[in-house]
């Protein structure tokens, strides 16, 4: 793997085809069939969405994970069109590319997911620092619940190489409440839970109380996604809050919330990697998350750098 491009960020995690269905009046009952008005197919999964968002904002970004040998070429082509480095995406013949069927409304979504080629990922993640080394990334973002027994050593290997580290594991309550995970999270530069994940970790339901619990755990930097409640940030003892809907008339009505949290991650990391202040990182993360809901799927609504800058100039 000599001669690989040096990256600002390498994003690692589970990769999916996202099949999103939307536009229906109510949920079908067992035995019923409803016809939806909208269908969208795209590359997806938290790692993919965050990587595509970072690349769209001009961050040199690569993706690490697995796709199926028989159906993965379309996935790779889509990533390359979005300027994401793909040489760390490996093909496997043991299973097809994973896919997720999302049934989406403007308020929420439900998923049915097939793991597929992602079954190969744990073995790769145990050697993550070595796999990432040829790319010399400034930052590694993990969108995957790593094996708990290898977690501390993997994080330490990343930090020993001088790379910064962020993590968004998604909804894995057993992982989130395990003492090994909490201990390892002390090594992460930024932790990205949503409100539900933070609640199961802290046993609190209010952001300030959650942050107090994270302080007691020794986790100093938490970017907390609150959905319709906006976002909040614990940063080295200071707290910041971003109200929802602050973009006002700059956004169109919400179409699909799929991937909004992953888009928040991308916007926040873009700002942080460009040395912006914590409050601005939070604002840009919230803006990218909100703007992403304008279109079906996790990527289509994500703003360009020029659009983001123009919109932020019009809001306080």
Show me where the domains of the chain are located.
9-28+35-312
**H-only helix segments in 65-206:** 72-81, 121-125, 128-132, 148-160, 173-176, 179-185, 195-202
Distance, CA of 71 to chain centre: 23
Task: Supply 293's token pair.
Answer: 């809901």
pLDDT in the model for residue 105: 64
Handedness of CA 209, 213, 215, 219 (dihedral sign): negative
Q: Which two tokens stand for residue 157?
A: 């290997």
**pLDDT for the residue 106:** 60
Place of tokens 């939806």: 36
Alpha carbons 50 and 32: distance in angstroms, whole number: 36
Q: How many CA atoms lie within 13 A of 274 on its CB side?
A: 16
242 alpha-carbon distance from chain centroid: 19
CA–CA separation, 238 and 248 (whole Å): 27
Strands 89-92 and 61-68: parallel
Direct distance between the N- and C-terminal alpha carbons of the chain, in angstroms, rounded to an integer: 46
Q: What CATH number does domain 9-28+35-312 carry, 3.40.50.300, 1.20.1050.10, 3.40.1350.10, 3.40.1190.20?
A: 3.40.1190.20
Q: Which residue has the tokens 């197919």?
A: 41
pLDDT value of residue 141: 98
Q: Which residues, 6 or more positions from 177, have their beta carbon under 8 angstroms from its beta carbon?
A: 200, 201
| 190-191 and 164-167 strand pairing | parallel
Please answer whether residues 247 and 315 qualify as being in contact, where contact means their C-beta atoms are separated by less than 8 angstroms: yes
Residues of the chain with pLDDT under 50: 1
Mention every residue, 6+ apart, whose C-beta is less than 8 A from residue 90: 65, 66, 67, 120, 124
pLDDT of residue 1: 41
Residue in 288, 293, 294, 287 with CA at minimum distance from that of residue 316: 287
The pLDDT score that the predictor gives to residue 107 is 62
Q: What does pTM read for this prediction?
A: 0.93
Q: Which two tokens stand for residue 146?
A: 């790593």
Query: Cα(118)–Cα(244) distance, rounded to whole angstroms?
Result: 34
């Amino acid at each position: 793997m000599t001669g690989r491009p040096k990256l600002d960020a390498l994003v690692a995690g589970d990769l999916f085809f996202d099949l999103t269905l939307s536009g229906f009046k109510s949920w079908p009952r067992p035995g019923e069939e409803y016809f939806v008005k909208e269908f969208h197919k795209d590359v997806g999964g938290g790692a993919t969405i965050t990587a595509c968002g970072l690349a769209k904002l001009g961050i040199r970004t690569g993706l690490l994970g697995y796709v199926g040998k028989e159906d993965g070429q379309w996935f790779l082509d889509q990533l390359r069109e979005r300027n994401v480095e793909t040489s760390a995406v490996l093909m496997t013949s043991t299973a097809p590319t994973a896919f997720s069927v999302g049934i989406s409304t403007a308020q929420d979504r439900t998923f049915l997911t097939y793991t597929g080629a992602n079954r190969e990922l744990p073995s790769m993640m145990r050697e993550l620092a070595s796999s990432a080394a040829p790319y010399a990334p400034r930052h590694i973002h993990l969108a995957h619940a790593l094996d708990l027994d290898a977690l501390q050593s993997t994080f330490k290997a990343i930090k020993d190489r001088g790379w910064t580290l962020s993590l968004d594991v998604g909804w894995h309550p057993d992982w989130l409440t395990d003492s090994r995970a909490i201990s390892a999270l002390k090594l992460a530069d930024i932790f990205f839970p949503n409100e539900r994940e933070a609640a199961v970790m802290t046993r609190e339901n209010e952001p300030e109380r959650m942050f107090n619990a994270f302080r007691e755990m020794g986790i100093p930097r938490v970017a907390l996604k609150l959905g319709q409640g906006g976002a909040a940030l614990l940063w080295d003892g200071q707290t910041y809050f971003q109200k929802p809907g602050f973009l006002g008339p700059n956004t169109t009505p919400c179409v699909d919330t799929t991937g909004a949290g992953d888009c928040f991650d991308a916007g926040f990391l873009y700002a942080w990697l460009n040395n912006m202040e914590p409050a601005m990182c939070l604002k840009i993360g919230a803006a990218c998350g909100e703007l992403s809901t304008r279109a079906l799927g996790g990527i289509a609504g994500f703003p360009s750098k020029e659009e983001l800058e123009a919109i932020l100039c019009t809001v306080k």
